Amino acid sequence: MPTQLQLVNRTLSELGRLSVSAILESPDAQQANAKLLELVPELYEVFNWSFLVKFIFDNTPLTINFSPDYQYTYQLPGDFGHFFKWQDTGSQWPIYMITDGYLLAQVKPVGYYYIVNQAAPKMYNPLFARALVLYAAAKLAPTLTNNVQLAAYLEKEYEKVIAKAITQDDMMNPHFATPYNDFDRITFV
């Protein structure tokens, strides 16, 4: 699992630049770091990555209710990016609304999965990290190397790697398991 410095060095390597021992060591490394930090939220939105999913089970609503339409109000976590799905309970999902950092719902307790809005590079899986590096290198290539063909090549490589990353993450994602299914039951007539 990479560090930010390793991601910067991989990006520089894709651009034919020398590796650095610190991000502040060269202007190219600083630009690569800034571009990586700029593009990572964009890649978070490409897919519901399993390493970005967190689970919350909240049994303590706030004492002040903010809406007459909903019986309970829950504080959303500080790293809440966007809603993913409700906890598997076998029953119908509750009616809810998310507004101003609060989850308004008709049920107590609530259990749900959400996508975080930030994660440390050590959480990235290898293909996601590779896709991020290629994407940043493709965006930096015209300014750092004046080579548009390199940028086009890196963009094509990014598209291949992001497709592989999505496929791999989708196959390995435990959050899509369905414990209450009828697919493996045998019925006799």
Domain assignment present for 91: yes
Q: What domain range includes position 14?
A: 4-47+125-175
Domain assignment present for 70: yes
Judgement on whether residues 58 and 111 belong to the same structural domain of the protein: yes
pLDDT for res 189? 47
- Residues in Cβ contact with 12 at an 8 Å cutoff, skipping those fewer than 6 apart: 18, 19, 20, 28, 29, 32
Q: Are 153 and 141 in contact (CB under 8 A)?
A: no
Q: Are 110 and 58 in contact (CB under 8 A)?
A: yes
**What residues form DSSP beta bridges with 113?**
55, 85
Q: Which of 74, 97, 116 is the last residue of a domain?
A: 116
Model pTM score: 0.78
- The two three-digit tokens of residue 7, written as one number: 């991601």
Judgement on whether residues 63 and 92 belong to the same structural domain of the protein: yes
Domain assignment present for 188: no
pLDDT over 60 at 185, yes or no: no
Q: What is the pLDDT of residues 41-78, one digit of tens each?
A: 999 888 888 888 888 898 888 888 778 888 889 999 98
Higher-pLDDT residue of 17 and 181 is 17
Domain assignment present for 185: no
Judgement on whether residues 110 and 54 belong to the same structural domain of the protein: yes
Q: Which of 68, 98, 116 is the last residue of a domain?
A: 116
- Residues in Cβ contact with 152 at an 8 Å cutoff, skipping those fewer than 6 apart: none
* Dist. CA 121–CA 168, nearest whole Å: 18
Reported as a pLDDT band with limits 50, 70 and 90, residue 29 is very high
What is the pLDDT of the chain when averaged over all its residues?
A: 85
Q: Which of 116, 142, 159 is the last residue of a domain?
A: 116
In total, how many domains does the chain have? 2
pLDDT for res 66? 76
